[in-house]
Homo-oligomer: A and B are copies of this chain.
Amino acid sequence: MFEKKAVCLVSGGMDSCVTAAVAHREGFELAFLHADYGQRTLEREKKAFEDIANFYGVKQKLCVNLEYLARIGGSALTDFDIEVPRGQLKRQGIPITYVPFRNANLLAVATSWAEVIGAKSIFIGAVAEDSSGYPDCRQEFYEAFQRVINIGTRPETQIEIRTPIIHLTKADIVRLGVQLGAPLNLTWSCYKREDLACGECDSCLLRLRGFSQAGLTDPIPYAVKEFI
């Protein structure tokens, strides 16, 4: 029997998989939450989500459709008229793959669910440093959202947002995942393709660089592996 339960936001990518591995190691019963929001690779991500859920024997799963984020638009991840850029990790500012306020939408769903199923923690694989420039991936964003949860739920509800990898580099995340036995081979990070990872989008480049810097080989197949 588990004594505590955690809602884990699991996209199917490496970061959320390692985050779930941290929650698993801490002894939480895992409840997995996945969101489709019209992203290009949603079928492949959904498969990764299911594979990771099976790996951890997760019983409570919730898949939600935030398709309105695609209709709202404003991101290359969901607006297919905007091209996903390749090989431009050194760009400044907010990436064009930023989905406006996405993580607040995800945390709102997670909090509603956590309150109903009695989960005391919400684990989210946000990474502040090298993944982004996304404003909703920073530590202070989660601190601010924590206050909204404290005020906006029932007085007896106690839910803590956990961001265990927020200050890690991708190389650290790879190392931690391997150390925890996380099923990185089941994860999917590519923003562009569903058959083989493209190896060119920001997400592939960051992932490949992470494995490279950790001195390890990424177990998933790539169409192209650019020199990182």
Contact = CB atoms under 8 A, between A and B. Distances in A.
Interface of A: 62, 64-65, 67-69, 71-74, 94, 98-105, 107-109, 111-113, 115-116, 135-136, 138, 140-141, 144-145, 147-149, 151-155
B62 A65 contact: no
B151 A144 contact: yes
A62 B73 contact: no
Contact of A68 (B109, B135, B145, B149): B109
Interface of A is mostly: helix
Contacts of A99: 112
A74 B116 contact: yes
A153 B148 CA distance: 16
B102 A105 contact: no
Contacts of A135: 151-155
A64 B73 contact: no
Nearest to A150: B144
Contacts of A145: 148, 152
Nearest to A156: B94
B154 A94 contact: yes
